[in-house]
Structure 1
Amino acid sequence: MNTWADHVIWWQLHPISFVGAEPAALSPGSEPVHRLGHLQGWLDYLVELGCNGLALGPIFASETHGYDTVDHYRIDPRLGEEDDLVRLIDDCHRRGVKVLLDGVFNHVGRGFAPFQDVLARRRESPYASWFRLDFDADGPDGFGYTDFEGHRHLVALNHAEPQVADYVTAVARHWLDRGADGWRLDAAYAVPVEFWHAVTSQVRRTHPHAWFLGEVIHGDYARFVTEGGLDSVTQYELWKAIWSSLNDRNFFELSWALDRHEDFAENYRPLTFVGNHDVTRLASKLDDERHLAHALAVLFTVSGLPSVYAGDEQGFRGVKYERADGDAEIRPAFPGTPAALAPYGWPVYRLHQDLIGLRRRHPWLVRARVKVVHLDNTAFAYHLVNPDGGPGLVVVLNVSDHPFTLPSVSGSARRRLLGSADSGAPEDVGPHGWAVLEVSA
Structure 2
Amino acid sequence: MGTWYNEAVFYHIYPLGLLGAPKENREEETVHRMEELFDWIPHIRDLGCTAIYIGPLFESTTHGYDTKDYKKVDRRLGDNEDFKKFVSLAHEEGIRVVVDGVFNHTGREFHAFKDIQQNREGSSFRNWYKGINFGWNSPYNDGFGYEAWRNCYELVNLNLKEPAVRDYLFDVISFWISEFDIDGIRLDCADCLEFDFMKEMRRRTSQEKPDFWLMGEVIHGDYSRWVNDEMLHSTTNYELHKGLYSGHNDHNYFEIAHTIRREFDENGGIYRGRTLYSFVDNHDVDRIMSKLNDKEHVYPVYTLLYTLPGIPSVYYGSEWGIEGKKEGANDEGMRPRLILDECEKENRHKELTKHIMALGRLHRGNKALTEGSYRELLLTNRQYAFARIAGEEAVITAVNNDDKPADAEIPVPVSAEYGTDAFTGQKYQVQNGKIKAHLPAAGSIAVCFNVTIQQVCAFTAQTVRT
Q: Which is worse superposed, 371-380 or 276-285? A: 371-380
1:161 maps to 162
* Post-superposition offset of 1:369: 1.7
* Post-superposition offset of 1:281: 0.5
Q: 1:172 to 1:258 in 2, by over 3 A?
A: same
2:36 maps to 38
Q: Does 1:110 align with 2:120?
A: no
1:270 maps to 276
1:199 maps to 201
State how 1:319-334 maps to structure 2 within 5 Å.
319-323=325-329, 326-334=330-338
Deviations 1:297-317 (A, max 9, x none): 111112221111011111111
Q: 1:18 to 1:431 in 2, by over 3 A?
A: closer
* Post-superposition offset of 1:233: 0.8
2:364 maps to 360
Q: 1:226 to 1:438 in 2, by over 3 A?
A: closer
* Post-superposition offset of 1:418: 7.9
* Post-superposition offset of 1:137: 2.5
* Post-superposition offset of 1:430: 3.4
Q: Does 1:290 align with 2:291?
A: no
* Post-superposition offset of 1:416: 6.4
Aligned residues: CA RMSD:
2.4
2:188 maps to 186
CA distance in 1, matches of 2:223, 2:441: 36
SS at match of 2:106: strand
Q: 1:258 to 1:235 in 2, by over 3 A?
A: same
CA distance in 1, matches of 2:322, 2:91: 28
Which residue among 350, 354, 363 is the counterpart of 1:350? 354
CA distance in 2, matches of 1:17, 1:408: 44
* Post-superposition offset of 1:257: 1.0
Deviations 1:248-285 (A, max 9, x none): 11111101111233135534221111111111001111
* Post-superposition offset of 1:223: 1.5
SS at match of 1:395: strand
2:148 maps to 147
Which residue among 387, 402, 409 is the counterpart of 2:390? 387
Which residue among 372, 396, 399 is the counterpart of 1:397? 399
| Mapped contact 2:368–2:390 kept (Cα < 8 A) | yes
Q: Which is worse superposed, 116-125 or 361-370? A: 361-370
User: Partner letter of residue 382 of structure 2?
Assistant: T
User: Partner letter of residue 9 of structure 1?
Assistant: V
User: Partner letter of residue 220 of structure 1?
Assistant: D
* Post-superposition offset of 1:199: 2.1
CA distance in 2, matches of 1:408, 1:335: 43
| Mapped contact 1:414–1:438 kept (Cα < 8 A) | no
Q: TM-score, normalised by structure 1?
A: 0.92
Which residue among 49, 60, 63 is the counterpart of 1:62? 60
Q: Which is worse superposed, 201-210 or 250-259? A: 201-210
CA distance in 1, matches of 2:221, 2:135: 33
Q: TM-score, normalised by structure 2?
A: 0.88
User: Partner letter of residue 135 of structure 2?
Assistant: D
State how 1:300-315 maps to structure 2 within 5 Å.
300-315=306-321
SS at match of 1:177: helix
1:134 maps to 133
Q: Which is worse superposed, 425-434 or 83-92? A: 425-434
Deviations 1:3-33 (A, max 9, x none): 1212321111111111111111033xx2211
User: Partner letter of residue 436 of structure 1?
Assistant: A
User: Partner letter of residue 20 of structure 2?
Assistant: G
| Mapped contact 2:418–2:427 kept (Cα < 8 A) | no
How high is the sequence identity, in percent, across the aligned residues? 31
SS at match of 1:126: coil
Ranges in structure 1 where 5+ consecutive residues have no aligned partner: none
Q: 1:322 to 1:195 in 2, by over 3 A?
A: farther
Deviations 1:418-441 (A, max 9, x none): 899x99985122333322234575
1:370 maps to 374
CA distance in 2, matches of 1:356, 1:338: 23
* Post-superposition offset of 1:415: 3.4
1:19 maps to 19
SS at match of 1:136: coil
Q: Does 1:431 align with 2:441?
A: yes
SS at match of 2:307: coil
User: Partner letter of residue 129 of structure 2?
Assistant: F
CA distance in 2, matches of 1:440, 1:431: 28
Q: 1:316 to 1:419 in 2, by over 3 A?
A: farther
CA distance in 1, matches of 2:246, 2:171: 41
Q: 1:8 to 1:264 in 2, by over 3 A?
A: farther
Q: 1:430 to 1:351 in 2, by over 3 A?
A: closer
Ranges in structure 2 where 5+ consecutive residues have no aligned partner: 429-434, 452-466
SS at match of 1:380: strand
SS at match of 1:344: coil
Deviations 1:123-175 (A, max 9, x none): 22111111012233243222211111121111111111122211111111101
